Amino acid sequence: VRWCLVALVLVGLTGCVGPAPTVGQYEGKAAHTAQDALSQLETARLAVENATRMPAAYLETVLVDAEQSFGSVQATFDSIQPPDEPAADALKAALDPLLSDGSDGIVQLRILARRGNRAGMAKVSHDLAATADRLDRFGTEHAG
Amino acid sequence: VKRLFAVALGILTAIGGFVDIGDLVANALVGARFGLTLAWATILGVIGICVFAEMSGRVAAVSGRATFDLVRERLGPRMGLANLSASVLVTLLTFCAEIGGVALALELATSVNYLLWVPMVGLAVWLMIWRVRFSILENTFGLLGLALVVFGVALWKLNPDWSDLVHEAVVPRNPQGEGLPTYFYYAIALFGAAMTPYEVFFFSSGGVEERWTRQDVVTSRMNVFIGFPLGGALSLAIAACAALVLLPRGISVDTLGQVGLPVAVAVGKLGLAVAILGFVAATFGAALETGLSCGYSVAQYFGWQWGKYVRPRDAARFHLVVLVCLIVAIGTVLTTVDPITVTEYSLVFSAVALPLTYLPILVIANDPDYMGARVNRRTANVLGTAFLVVIVIASVAAIPLMLATRAGQ
């Protein structure tokens, strides 16, 4: 029983995110955040690009999931206390606008999908390509 | 002709019933992240499940008793209890994942939040286990699960460079940017997905439900040696589709909706509708199997009357165990814990529990008191022992790798 409890506590701890004590670690978390955000943004864009090839209910569910997951990624990054270093502030300043743009874009896609506005979805998805590129570059440049 | 039909039906249901929420998620997740470089882990797992399912099917056909009915008698109550505890906990976790999987699949079809579907799915599972005949359950969902063949169609329509795909699958390598611990963590998850313990509980208890005799050993072997590998091929098709569509765009899989996106891209609306049908059938069928397996394990250990071949009132304690497990599973999913996360953890914990599940099968299949002339031959023993070594390594490495990689992050 004791070992089971220890195992459960250890498993629980694997899901915890602590504060980043060094710039290097903060950079790693920022890169990871960018990759996770890119994954959700690209999921939404891929779904929208193929909107005519899937039922409306499926499209809506994929977009709602992407929106929630993107929000969770953003909230987790916001909850990390950056180290008191200019480099950490610069990282945050570079990533925050990308996260905001991505989040706003997915919300817009979900609204337009519910309204059945395919032209609007295509335009927003096209505009989001630049944000996706920047997230990709950020993730690649700052990954360990 | 009737026998041929029975064999064909068995093979088809084995193919359709092979894939469950664990296979769907693990293969798509790994395909989107590692391409086909981890195909060897799925292939290894499929060979492993074939080796042990053949043994447990043979035990059921020869002795007329399910393998785990014999564990306590052959290995004693302590070993039996260790086996029971590990297998029921892991199967219950898998049961939660399957119930959540059905609800997620229904959400994709309706856009109604999956939490609203969970109680209805639970009720449907209970009613079916209580009222519907075993053969109807097995055949209906096994055959409907064949809808997942649409992933094979999608792969073909994506028109990949087949030589590149095969090369990636047969020459294992760790993709750039991924650490070796992460690579092996996901290898264990895939191995665990293919060798999930409930599959052998269900296969061997199902043999008893269907009243297999020595003459059915051939049928059992054909189900295993043809049906399971083809089911494994479906798993590889899911991984390949994810590798072709999701990986180039940096999409990592954490929802069931992402698993189906390659089918929408390649085949369109009709294909996606078929894929959703396959998701529902595969997860619902697996929910029935895991629910029944919980009841089988507990009832067989305590020597209670079990099974659907007797009336529910004659196997009341068996049905009570199934009902309690179902309530626990529904309650767990309703806590809003992410079913996909539960699935990922269930795969790793399956890997941890594998030796406790598979060692007794090897021991009993070697016991002439139960098996007579149908005792394991040298090939089965060599393969069984070799796989036990792999299983023990996977079991020991699973938790340290989970901690080291923060569950594969």
Distance (Å) of CA B74 to CA B203, B229, B367, B370? 20, 31, 9, 10
Taking the CA of residue A85 and the nearest CA in chain B, the distance in Å comes to: 26
B408: which DSSP letter? T
d(CA A37, CA B250): 10
Please give the torsion angle defined by the CA atoms of residues B53, B54, B57 and B59, in that order, rounded to the nearest 10 degrees. Answer: -110
Position A12 scores a pLDDT of 54
Return averaged pLDDT per consecutive 10 residues of chain B, 409 residues in all: 71 76 93 95 94 91 83 83 88 95 96 96 95 88 92 96 92 81 93 88 87 87 89 95 96 96 97 96 93 93 89 93 97 94 89 88 90 91 95 94 88
Number of H helices, E strands in chain B: 18, 0
Position B197 scores a pLDDT of 85
Measured CA angle at B19 (ends B234, B25), to 5 deg: 90
Taking the CA of residue B263 and the nearest CA in chain A, the distance in Å comes to: 9
Position B294 scores a pLDDT of 94
Residues of chain B found within 8 Å of residue A18, distances taken between Cβ atoms: none
Residues of chain B found within 8 Å of residue A55, distances taken between Cβ atoms: 109, 269, 272-273
d(CA B27, CA B262): 13
Residue in chain A closest to B267 (alpha carbons) equals A53
| A58 in Cβ contact with B269 (< 8 Å) | no
* Among the partner residues B108, B251, B406, nearest to A46 by beta-carbon distance: B251
Q: What is the pLDDT of residues A59-69, one digit of tens each?
A: 999 999 999 99
Residue A19 pLDDT > 60: no
d(CA B251, CA B348): 22
Residue of B290, B273, B271, B196 whose CA lies nearest to B235: B196
Confidence class of residue A6 from pLDDT cuts 50, 70 and 90?
A: low
* Among the partner residues A46, A53, A64, nearest to B249 by beta-carbon distance: A46
Q: How many alpha carbons fall within 13 Å on the CB side of residue B36?
A: 23
Count of CB atoms situated within 10 Å of the CB of B406: 14
d(CA A22, CA B235): 42
What is the ipTM score, two decimals? 0.89
Secondary structure of residue B193 in the 3-state scheme: helix
pTM, two decimals, is 0.91
Q: How far is Cα of residue B277 from the mean position of the Cα atoms in its chain?
A: 18
Q: How many alpha carbons fall within 13 Å on the CB side of residue B199?
A: 31
Over the Cα atoms of chain B, what is R_g? Answer: 20
Position B16 scores a pLDDT of 64
Taking the CA of residue B366 and the nearest CA in chain A, the distance in Å comes to: 32
Residue A8 pLDDT > 70: no
Q: Is A11 on the interface with B (CB under 8 A)?
A: yes
Indicate the helix (H) or strand (E) that contains B128: helix B114-131
Taking the CA of residue B28 and the nearest CA in chain A, the distance in Å comes to: 14
Residues of chain A found within 8 Å of residue B265, distances taken between Cβ atoms: 46, 50, 53
Q: Which residues contact B59 (CB under 8 A, 6 or more apart)?
A: B65, B66, B67, B70, B204, B361, B364, B365, B370, B371
* Among the partner residues B257, B273, B403, nearest to A62 by beta-carbon distance: B257
By the 10 Å C-beta count (0-12 exposed, 13-18 middle, 19+ buried), B118 is classed as: buried
d(CA B298, CA B40): 34
Position B320 scores a pLDDT of 96
Handedness of CA B85, B90, B92, B93 (dihedral sign): positive
Check CB contact under 8 Å for B177 and A65: no
Confidence class of residue A3 from pLDDT cuts 50, 70 and 90?
A: low
Q: Amino acid identity of B142?
A: G
Position B103 scores a pLDDT of 97
